[in-house]
């Protein structure tokens, strides 16, 4: 084992988790350490720049194995009237010791309870891959149980939920199978071969894969909010046809934007992605009357 590998192996689990997140960012750019949870808030929600005057809150949900910190670099790219809120799922960063959920139903129920205090004004969701599935089901649950309707959903890199899963279920398979998937996602070989790092990350990754692989779609009336769907032109997991199926889930508009890049284009094409989201948000912000904030 070389000196670099020894230093990596000596890191505590939370630092190992952060290292993996950094290695998955655009061009090797490090993700800044996560901001502490707001003292008056929830451990589920990271408000990097709290803005009580915000016209709209954008809640962002990460991909499998991802954490809230992947969205921190979005802060200055969104309209000033938008408060960015990263969703911190159990099993990562400061919640590393909390077991990750393996089924979507209990996750959605707890998430909804955590978010309700922050839905005192218009809100939107961005979800990437697994995060898109969570965003969609959370939006439906909030509508059915609390009468809360999102302003818009931004869903990326996940096939329409009614479509069958074309992939084999791998969450229960040996670690080497996971390494094949992670290698395809671009994780460096030195990390894949580091047993200590893999042992720290695999429980959360397995849980996230299990959550997606055991998901069962059920019919509900379409949402009334617009959907904006994003895909990567080089994504070998999710193609354009998979994404076109989202149109049945809204009675409003459903736009599809294909960006250069593979499955994690939110890193490689971050500027383009955020430009599209900001362009879509600005007219929605202009349409929000001050009385709407007072009455929510």
Tell me what pLDDT residue 168 has. 66
Q: Are strands 45-46 and 82-87 parallel, antiparallel or unpaired?
A: antiparallel
CATH number for the domain running over 3-295? 3.40.50.1820
253's CB contacts (< 8 A; 6+ apart) are 226, 227
Tell me what pLDDT residue 295 has. 44
Tell me what pLDDT residue 188 has. 66
Domain ranges of the chain: 3-295
Tell me what pLDDT residue 16 has. 53
The pTM is what? Answer: 0.85
Mean pLDDT by 10 residues, the chain (296 residues): 46 50 46 43 90 95 92 95 96 91 97 96 97 98 97 97 82 72 69 77 88 95 98 93 97 97 92 98 85 44
Query: Could you please report the per-residue DSSP string of 67-91?
Result: -GGGGGGGGGGS-TTEEEEEE--TT
Active-site annotation, residues? 129
Burial of 243 (0-12, 13-18, 19+ CB in 10 A): buried
């Amino acid at each position: 084992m070389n000196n670099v590998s020894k230093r990596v192996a000596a890191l505590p689990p939370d630092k190992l988790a952060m290292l993996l997140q950094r290695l998955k960012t655009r061009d090797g750019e490090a993700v800044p350490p996560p901001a502490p949870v707001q003292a008056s808030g929830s451990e589920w929600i990271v408000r990097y720049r709290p803005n009580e005057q915000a016209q709209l809150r954008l809640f962002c949900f990460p991909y499998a194995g991802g954490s809230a910190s992947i969205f921190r670099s979005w802060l200055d790219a969104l309209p000033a009237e938008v408060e960015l809120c990263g969703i911190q799922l159990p099993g990562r960063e400061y919640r590393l010791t909390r077991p990750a959920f393996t089924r979507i139903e209990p996750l959605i129920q707890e998430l909804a309870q955590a978010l309700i205090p922050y839905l005192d004004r218009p809100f939107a969701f961005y979800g990437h891959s697994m995060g898109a599935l969570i965003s969609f089901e959370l939006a439906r649950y909030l509508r059915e149980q609390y009468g809360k309707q999102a302003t818009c959903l931004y869903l990326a890199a996940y096939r329409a939920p009614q479509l069958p899963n074309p992939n084999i279920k791998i969450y229960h398979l040996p670690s080497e199978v996971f390494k094949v998937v992670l290698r395809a996602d671009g994780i460096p070989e030195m990390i894949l071969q580091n047993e200590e790092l893999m042992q720290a990350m695999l429980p959360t990754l397995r849980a996230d894969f299990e959550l997606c692989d055991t998901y069962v779609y059920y019919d509900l009336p379409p949402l009334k909010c617009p959907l904006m769907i994003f895909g990567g032109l080089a994504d070998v997991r999710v193609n354009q046809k998979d994404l076109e199926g989202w149109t049945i889930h809204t009675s409003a508009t459903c736009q599809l934007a294909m960006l250069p890049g593979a499955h994690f284009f939110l890193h490689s094409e971050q500027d383009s992605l955020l430009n599209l989201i900001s362009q879509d948000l600005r007219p929605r912000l202009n349409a929000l009357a001050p009385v709407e904030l007072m009455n929510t």
